[in-house]
Amino acid sequence: MTTNALLTHDTIQLLHTAFPDLSRNDIEALVQAAQVRTFPANFDIFQEGDEGDSLFLLQEGEVHIVVHADDHQEILVDTLGPTRYFGEMAFLGETSRMATIRTKTECRVIEINETDFMSIARTNPSLLRTLMRQIIGHIRRTDRAVINELNLKNEALQEAYANLEAQEALRSQVIVTLSHELRTPLTSIRGYLGLINQGAMSGNSLKVALASITRNVEKIIGHTNDLLLLYEMHPKATDYEYINVPDILIEALNTARATMEAEAVRVTMDIAPDVPEIFADRRGLVLAIRALLENAFKYSPDKTPVAIRAYRDNGMGVAIAIQDEGIGIAEAEAERIFDAFYRLEKEGATHLFPGLGVGLTIAKFVVDRHHGRITVGSTPGAGSTFTIILPHRAA
Ligand code: ADP
């Protein structure tokens, strides 16, 4: 057979497979009208909105059917292989294409124009039925793909709203609690100051009054620090970027040291050389690490050393651990310390640790938003280690 004859033979075979109901004569008539064309990979045979009414039958290669949700977004509806056809929507009277057909690989197709095809289809009701079925199938698949895409968008939107709502709830809860928590120590200070001013305090009672004032001032300072943390918490983290881990550790450490007046505490930093950059919300992470560091300083009343470590975590990505040698946390409490306003304050304890109980809540909030984890390991009296584990790409 000559190349041409071979081509004709292949085309007959193909048309026969694609339209098994057609008679030999009709198939031969279609072969006469057919044009064989080849396209390179990743090429748009036609685009959504293009004028055109011919039918394409795929002989070799694969094509993607793509529709546009808007100017920027493409939705993949289906991928077709050999013996499948496209462009048949034209037979519904559509003169502009309803989808883009993009070659996935190099393709060989047979193109038949509408007039030639319809003159044969008109006398073949079964062919029209097959075409109709194919058209309906395409419309259904397009609908399904678009609906799926919309659902995905919807879920992302709902998550963003839930995030915002949770944060707003936390903020308003803090404001209510804070105003109450500030009023108590302030009322006590005012009471004692009134007595001192009247000259009613002396000797031992003056000592007691001053100790109480000092304790209450400490409390207010703790609340103010928490308030500042909360103020810096972003309602919506949109600015994700590639972050160098040592940089954010140093930034968080400098702020925490200043806030907690912990400049004299020995801090070691051990960063494994293979720690990768992470794609994350920089401000949020600094806030979370800062909250852990402030706690490490606060709950180490003897100013014992604090260790910061960063290393590659096998499963997830990067781990950041903050270890102190402070008072520690009883196992039974470890779960609840992440709850908003949960504080372990013991009556008559030797030390007063000021705070509202939101530092860990904020840290967990930020880490959750990065799809990471925060864990705690602790021995009462010996110290605690808080570890943040983050995926490489948290957005
Ligand atoms: P706050 O420190 O303001 O109370 P947090 O949410 O930061 O609020 O912490 C909640 C509680 O968890 C604290 O009250 C404290 O009892 C406990 N905690 C947190 N970090 C440590 C730590 N490094 N060592 C011991 N206890 C801690």
**Residues 56-94: tens digit of each pLDDT:** 999 999 999 998 877 677 888 889 999 898 988 777 777
pLDDT at 297 over 80: yes
pLDDT at 150 over 60: yes
Residue 303 — very low, low, confident or very high, per pLDDT cuts 50/70/90? very high
* Strand residue runs (E) in 104-209: 107-112
pLDDT of residue 1: 42
pLDDT at 2 over 60: no
Give this prediction's pTM. Answer: 0.56
- Which of 49-63, 223-237, 351-365 shows the lowest mean pLDDT across its residues? 223-237
- Residue 359 alpha carbon, nearest atom of ligand 1: 7
Residue 131 — very low, low, confident or very high, per pLDDT cuts 50/70/90? confident
pLDDT of residue 233: 66
pLDDT of residue 3: 46
Asked whether the beta carbons of 352 and 219 are under 8 A apart, the reply is: yes
pLDDT of residue 109: 94
359 C-alpha vs ligand 1 centroid, how far in Å?
A: 8
Instruction: Report d(CA 268, CA 259) in Å as an integer.
Output: 19
Ligand 1, atom 12: nearest CA belongs to which residue?
Answer: 337
Candidate ranges 17-26, 228-237, 302-311, 315-324; pick with highest mean pLDDT: 302-311
259 C-alpha vs ligand 1 centroid, how far in Å?
A: 16
193 C-alpha vs ligand 1 centroid, how far in Å?
A: 30
pLDDT at 372 over 60: yes
208 C-alpha vs ligand 1 centroid, how far in Å?
A: 27
First-residue to last-residue Cα distance in the chain: 60
pLDDT at 117 over 70: yes
Q: Report the b/e string of 93-109 with b at 16+ CB within 10 A.
A: eeeebbbbbbbeeebbb
Residue 238 — very low, low, confident or very high, per pLDDT cuts 50/70/90? low
- Residue 226 alpha carbon, nearest atom of ligand 1: 3
- Residue 358 alpha carbon, nearest atom of ligand 1: 6
pLDDT at 239 over 90: no
Alpha carbon dihedral 110, 115, 116, 118, in 10-degree steps, equals 100
pLDDT of residue 160: 77
Instruction: Report d(CA 78, CA 56) in Å as an integer.
Output: 16
pLDDT mean across residues, the chain: 85
294 C-alpha vs ligand 1 centroid, how far in Å?
A: 9
Residues with CB under 6 A from ligand 1: 226, 291, 295-296, 299, 324, 326-329, 337, 342-344, 355-361, 384
Residue 344 — very low, low, confident or very high, per pLDDT cuts 50/70/90? low
282-298 and 245-259 helices, crossing angle to 10°? 50
pLDDT of residue 124: 82
Residue 151 — very low, low, confident or very high, per pLDDT cuts 50/70/90? confident
* Strand residue runs (E) in the chain: 35-39, 44-46, 55-60, 63-68, 74-80, 85-86, 100-103, 107-112, 240-243, 267-271, 278-281, 306-312, 317-324, 373-379, 383-391
